[in-house]
Structure 1
Amino acid sequence: MSRWLLALLLHAAAAASAEPPSYHVMMLLYRGCEEACRGFQDHFGRQQVRARFTLRDADQDARRIPGFVAEARRLRPDLVVAWGTTVALETVGQWDAVDRSRHIADIPVVFMAVSDPLQSRLVPTLAGSGRNLAGTLYLLPVAEQLRAARAYLDFRRIGFLYNPAEANSLNSLQDLRAQASHFGFSLVVETLPIGANGQPSAGDIPGRIAALAAAGVDLLYFSPDSFLNSQRRLVTGEALARQMPVFAAAEAPVTQADALLGVLNRYDQIGRFTARLALRILREGAPPGELPIELPRQFSYLINLRVAHRLGRYPPLPLLDIAEIVGGPACTRTKGKACD
């Protein structure tokens, strides 16, 4: 073999060895590739990380998730991302009830958009899962949400639409019940019936909202529930028609529907925050079980000014110094941020 050919082969081998690794990331989703999913992938792109993403969407049908988990166990990607409480529980199980015949126990898993990983028993402590699981928080504690809501308006009766089909809904309900005596409010709950398909029906929403209004509810708490989010215009529209303000734990009911306010972390920020955690596992070899489950430090206080106008409930002036104002024609720029 000539010297120049040998040198060329050695150079090609060195270049190949210097090429950054490529990762296979499997994302198990519950309601499509929404803002958090896109934010996660966007962060990989911004960091110039070579990755192949395999997306599987349950389309709000929990019965499809076990098949996705079985596929992930067979494909053995470098990382699995579990979106939401329902998906995460089906993917890895509760920390003290792992079934190695159906759960993923030997591939790194990262969860996001889980309302309460402690209450769901995904982790025994926020200091770390102690297993192949890491994740991020995205909801402010309910007590902080309630303080923020009370800075805008007083309330004595909070209404809640309970969806038995989603773990997030039950977690939110339990959190509100735990805070009721401290904040001095009563909780009025209307339960959505579950159909043969395992989901509630949108047709039952107006009647339940009417029942909450008849019970004298002065604030409707919109929980981080995928079904309700898919019906956010209906839920918030029915409430607004009855002059019932809506407080949302997530952004879409405020920015894309008729919720009055919300204090939250934006989903795209959650996706990027979770991606940074994932890269610690993939690039640095950090053990997932030793990584703390943390909340992004930045959050947004959103006020829908168009809804405030229709309710005749304008925000106190001090809130305008910190709030992001959204809401159509009446919207103005606040804190240098454009209206949604």
Structure 2
Amino acid sequence: MIDRRSLLSLGLGAGTAGALGVPAFAQQMVQQQPYRILMLTFRGETDVERGFRSFFDAAGVKVEFMTRDVDRNAARVKPILAEVLPTFKPDLIYTYGTPNTLAVAGPYDAPPDAPFVRDIPVVFALVAAPVRSKIAASVAKPGRNVTGAVHVVPTDVQMRAMQTYKPFSKVGVIYSPNESNSLVVVNEMQAFCEANNLTLFRQPLAMSGNLPTGEGVEQFVRDLRQKGAEWLYLPPDTFLATVFNRIAPVAIEVGLPTFGSTEFFLREGDGLVGLVSRYYSVGQLAASKAVEILVQKRAPGDIPIETLKRFALIINMKVAKALGVYPPIVMLNYAEVLS
């Protein structure tokens, strides 16, 4: 299990992630025309986008933003690009999540004639596994027109934090089988469980063609609890977030604690606890890379993909009371508690 000293040594704490400094070159620059950035969101405006925009304001970099939302369906990306690129002519494209990023830039090993954007820099946020999802061949040097900010705490660290809150021998996970982020994390969970003599119950969401659906999700929660799951883990799954309002009430009803991999499950839903990167700070980190590209004229393929250096442990005390599952007292010394 993880004690307070171990958590803090890994950069885990209750405070907001360290503020990103404004680059000196951005502060001293003389800019003639605003840069144009196309923002492709997945489920509307979030703190990620607010953090992204705020960084440019703080840096004194003038930007004209155009935002288009795909309303939880990355298949809408191509028509948006066909409409916007010829007229808006962005200097950079911001993408939220793995599905949007792959729809814009494609996998790094796509054929040269595949219809993806290659001549415009792409900066992503909210991508959990850029290498395994083939967005980049390497995080140290992406080697193409894509870079960005990873938001997920390493899976093994999350599992140990879960054990510290409430020890378990069986854990369940619900995920979209078409989302590479989720598949990577679920496979990492499987490896952790096998190495620690734990049992993982995997429950993929139902699919309609190539898209996940929320069909039967309430029963999935009940089934996992009946199998003996002591936790329900919530992976960084863009579709799962859209049906979490159906999952959380059932989890509370059947007495199944939930552990969230992203801030969304705690702040916008009734998740119990999570070890997360703050969305606002992830947006700022992504924007710092966009500033390097636009202002310093660095090639995105030379800019490392990074994650934040500090994470936040968030506990939803309202849910803890409903479940009767309270955190160890020592955790309250460094967790952010939502009431």
Which band: TM-score by shorter chain?
0.7 to 0.9
What secondary structure is seen at the aligned counterpart in 2 of 1:277?
helix
1:180 pairs, out of 193, 199, 206, with 193
Match of residue 47 from structure 1: 59
Letter of the aligned partner of 1:295 in structure 2?
T
> How do residues 1-340 of structure 1 correspond to structure 2 at under 5 angstroms?
19-71=31-83, 73-74=85-86, 75-195=88-208, 198-201=211-214, 203-327=215-339
Partners in 1 of 2:31 and 2:204 — Cα distance? Answer: 55
8 A contact 1:39–1:271 mirrored in 2 = yes
Partners in 1 of 2:30 and 2:100 — Cα distance? Answer: 37
8 A contact 1:90–1:103 mirrored in 2 = yes
Per the TM alignment, residue 281 of structure 1 is displaced from its structure 2 partner at its CA by: 0.7
What secondary structure is seen at the aligned counterpart in 1 of 2:81?
helix
Partners in 1 of 2:178 and 2:114 — Cα distance? Answer: 24
Letter of the aligned partner of 1:280 in structure 2?
E
Change (3 A) 1:197 1:146: closer
Partners in 2 of 1:122 and 1:19 — Cα distance? Answer: 31
What secondary structure is seen at the aligned counterpart in 2 of 1:125?
coil
Partners in 1 of 2:112 and 2:72 — Cα distance? Answer: 23
Change (3 A) 1:19 1:91: closer
Identify the range of structure 1 (136-145 vs 44-53) with the bigger mean alpha-carbon deviation: 44-53
CA RMSD of aligned residues (A): 1.9
Partners in 2 of 1:72 and 1:199 — Cα distance? Answer: 28
Partners in 1 of 2:261 and 2:111 — Cα distance? Answer: 30
What secondary structure is seen at the aligned counterpart in 2 of 1:171?
helix
Letter of the aligned partner of 1:316 in structure 2?
P
Q: Give the TM-score, by structure 2 length.
A: 0.86
Change (3 A) 1:18 1:262: closer
Per the TM alignment, residue 124 of structure 1 is displaced from its structure 2 partner at its CA by: 1.2
Give CA-to-partner distance per residue, 1:113-163, whole Å, 9 cap, x none.
Answer: 001001101111111111111111110110111111111111111111122
Partners in 1 of 2:205 and 2:332 — Cα distance? Answer: 36
8 A contact 2:175–2:237 mirrored in 1 = no
8 A contact 2:182–2:236 mirrored in 1 = yes
Per the TM alignment, residue 78 of structure 1 is displaced from its structure 2 partner at its CA by: 0.6
Structure 1 alignment gaps of length 5 or more: 1-16, 328-340
8 A contact 2:97–2:126 mirrored in 1 = yes
Letter of the aligned partner of 2:159 in structure 1?
L
Give CA-to-partner distance per residue, 1:289-321, whole Å, 9 cap, x none.
Answer: 011111111211001112212222221122111
Partners in 2 of 1:211 and 1:91 — Cα distance? Answer: 37
8 A contact 1:73–1:104 mirrored in 2 = no
Letter of the aligned partner of 1:88 in structure 2?
T
Per the TM alignment, residue 265 of structure 1 is displaced from its structure 2 partner at its CA by: 0.5
Structure 2 alignment gaps of length 5 or more: 1-28
Partners in 2 of 1:289 and 1:111 — Cα distance? Answer: 13
Change (3 A) 1:18 1:326: closer
Partners in 1 of 2:296 and 2:303 — Cα distance? Answer: 12
Q: Give the TM-score, by structure 1 length.
A: 0.86
What secondary structure is seen at the aligned counterpart in 2 of 1:136?
strand
Of structures 1 and 2, the larger Rg is shown by 1
Match of residue 3 from structure 1: none
Partners in 2 of 1:196 and 1:122 — Cα distance? Answer: 23
Greater relative CO, 1 or 2 (CA 8 Å, sep 6+): 2
Partners in 1 of 2:234 and 2:30 — Cα distance? Answer: 50
Partners in 1 of 2:233 and 2:208 — Cα distance? Answer: 23
Letter of the aligned partner of 1:210 in structure 2?
R
Partners in 1 of 2:333 and 2:112 — Cα distance? Answer: 50
Give CA-to-partner distance per residue, 1:72-119, whole Å, 9 cap, x none.
Answer: 553431111111001111111111225444111111111110010011
Change (3 A) 1:149 1:20: farther
Letter of the aligned partner of 1:229 in structure 2?
A
Identity of aligned residues (%): 32
8 A contact 1:233–1:253 mirrored in 2 = no
